[in-house]
A and B are shown apart, each in its own frame.
Chain A
Amino acid sequence: MKVTDNRLPAATFEELAVPLFDQLYNFARWLTQDTSEAEDLVQETYAKALRGFSSFQAGTNFRAWMYRILRNSFLSSRTGLKVTAVFDEEGAEGVPAAADATTPESLYIEQANRQIVQDALAELPVPFREILLLCEVEEMSYQEIAETLSIPTGTVMSRLSRARKALRAMLRQRLKGGRHGV
């Protein structure tokens, strides 16, 4: 789902925003880990975006703008303040310090392991979880992620790298000894 810039002058808020609904909800649900909080967050996002639409600049990235509103709303919510207050980016990647040697076979992930991946994602610190979702699920470019999270592209790269390392460490530990390894 790409919103192309040349559509913007004629496009109404509804035309641009409604197609993002499912993705925004999924993202909100991942952030909040709660259905009703996710609904509140999405509703708030749409209300804020609608009010601010006149100030939205044609030619800039609408999707990133919507995600930024959603995320900022989340960060200022009670849950958001709680989960991000203690985050230490540098220290967080080490989450369970599993064996450092990369044994590729150990991470053979099948469909059946989806639950394990979902649990691991849910347990990752929010800054890691959100950047992985934006990159892998929303398939945003580094530039788009940078806009969404209001951070420089270099930080996108380093945070992504840390997030992946943390996730791999968690998966490796959880899949270890399981029959899913090749």
Chain B
Amino acid sequence: MACDVWGGKLDAYLDGELDSAEAGELNKHLRGCGACAADALERVQVKRAVAASGKRYEPSAEFRARIIKSVAGELPTSQKRDLGHPSGRAWKWWVLAVPALSVLIVSLLVNFYVERGKARRQLVYSELVDLHVGTLASASPVDVVSTDRHTVKPWFQGRIPFAFNLPDLAGSEFTLLGGRVAYLGQAPGAQLIYQVRKHEISVFIFQDQGPGMGVPSTPLRALSFNVENWSQNGLRYFVVGDVNADDIQALSKLLRDAG
């Protein structure tokens, strides 16, 4: 279909109002068409700007009390209580909205925006990608520096509320660099850094409960990072790296077999 046809559907697409078949087609078109992708990006930016700017006014405490009283007063059977401010919605996807520099990133971003159903998973993934990138950018990426799993694993004892097994890497391309304690949704977990052909991969292990853990176990490509995750023995594993999906899968298999 031509650009002008798709152009007319961009808004509905970004508002999540296209059916999945059409959305898929349009998404495919965006990946190949720089002009439409740029147009979509502009629309996303305006949407985001309005969403943020539109949340502008807060009622005064006094007015809130007055309304709550009037509502509760009219219905003596209902319990009066302070509902306070509504909990914030998932505005954290903002953190993902990095300035997009290429058509690929634009279309991934746009795609992300549309697939709100995946937002939760994306949120977790984006936090993990942030953690991964942040760790590698740090002057001291790991707190326990060792290629020996028998050194790294005991280091975590007493630092995190669970234990895990690490694979024997003999005969594989992977090297263990070390580990550190990481936090996801305020829960402590282990972050292990592995290396394969000069690329670092983070393996995150958290207890499989608590915030953000209800993510489906499917691989995902998030903004040029490959992410794999699965649940095993009450632990949730995430493998994050900028290497190709095969390497991620290979390391995941080693960890699965060990766990």
What is A's interface to B at a CB cutoff of 8 Å?
Answer: 1, 12-15, 17-19, 21-23, 25-26, 29-30, 38-39, 42-43, 46-47, 50, 102, 104, 107-109, 111, 113-114, 117-118, 121, 132-133, 135-137, 139, 141-142, 157, 160-161, 164, 167-168, 171, 182
Residue of A nearest to B58 (CB): A22
Q: Write out the residue numbers on chain B whose beta carbons fall within 8 Å of the beta carbon of A23.
A: 86
Which secondary structure dominates where chain B touches chain A? helix
B46 and A42 contacting across the interface, CB-CB below 8 Å: no
Interface Cβ pair total, 8 Å cutoff? 126
Q: Write out the residue numbers on chain B whose beta carbons fall within 8 Å of the beta carbon of A114.
A: 49, 52-53
Q: Write out the residue numbers on chain A whose beta carbons fall within 8 Å of the beta carbon of B86.
A: 1, 19, 22-23
B49 and A117 contacting across the interface, CB-CB below 8 Å: yes
Q: Of residues 225 to 249 in B, which have CB atoms within 8 Å of A's CB atoms?
A: none
Q: Write out the residue numbers on chain B whose beta carbons fall within 8 Å of the beta carbon of A13.
A: 71, 74-75, 78
B12 and A107 contacting across the interface, CB-CB below 8 Å: no
A104 and B38 contacting across the interface, CB-CB below 8 Å: yes
Q: Write out the residue numbers on chain A whose beta carbons fall within 8 Å of the beta carbon of B56.
A: 26, 29-30, 118
Q: Can you sample 7 A-B contacts with CB below 8 Å?
A: A15-B78, A22-B85, A26-B57, A26-B58, A30-B56, A107-B46, A121-B54
Alpha-carbon distance A169/B64, docked complex (angstroms): 37
A21 and B42 contacting across the interface, CB-CB below 8 Å: no
A12 and B77 contacting across the interface, CB-CB below 8 Å: yes
B15 and A142 contacting across the interface, CB-CB below 8 Å: yes
B31 at the interface (CB under 8 A from A): no
Nearest CB of B to A151, in Å? 15
Contact status of A121 and B42, CB under 8 A, knowing A1-B86, A13-B71, A164-B11: no
Q: Write out the residue numbers on chain B whose beta carbons fall within 8 Å of the beta carbon of A42.
A: 59, 63, 67
B57 and A25 contacting across the interface, CB-CB below 8 Å: yes
Alpha-carbon distance A135/B12, docked complex (angstroms): 11
CB < 8 Å neighbour of B50 from A26, A39, A111, A117? A117
Q: Write out the residue numbers on chain B whose beta carbons fall within 8 Å of the beta carbon of A102.
A: 38-39, 42
B15 and A109 contacting across the interface, CB-CB below 8 Å: no
A168 and B57 contacting across the interface, CB-CB below 8 Å: no
Contact status of A14 and B78, CB under 8 A, knowing A43-B67, A47-B70, A107-B45: yes
A46 and B67 contacting across the interface, CB-CB below 8 Å: yes
Q: Write out the residue numbers on chain B whose beta carbons fall within 8 Å of the beta carbon of A50.
A: 71, 74
What is B's interface to A at a CB cutoff of 8 Å?
Answer: 11-12, 15-17, 38-39, 41-43, 45-59, 63-64, 66-68, 70-72, 74-75, 77-78, 80, 83, 85-86, 89, 99
Residue of B nearest to A111 (CB): B52
Alpha-carbon distance A137/B74, docked complex (angstroms): 30
B51 and A39 contacting across the interface, CB-CB below 8 Å: no
Q: Write out the residue numbers on chain A whose beta carbons fall within 8 Å of the beta carbon of B49.
A: 109, 113-114, 117, 171
A25 and B59 contacting across the interface, CB-CB below 8 Å: yes
CB < 8 Å neighbour of A161 from B11, B39, B46, B50? B11
10 cross-chain pairs, A with B, having the tightest CB-CB distances, nearest first:
A137-B54, A29-B57, A104-B38, A117-B53, A25-B59, A136-B50, A109-B49, A104-B42, A12-B78, A136-B51
A19 and B83 contacting across the interface, CB-CB below 8 Å: yes
Alpha-carbon distance A132/B56, docked complex (angstroms): 14
B54 and A14 contacting across the interface, CB-CB below 8 Å: no
Residue of A22, A38, A139, A168 with most partner-chain B CB within 10 A: A22
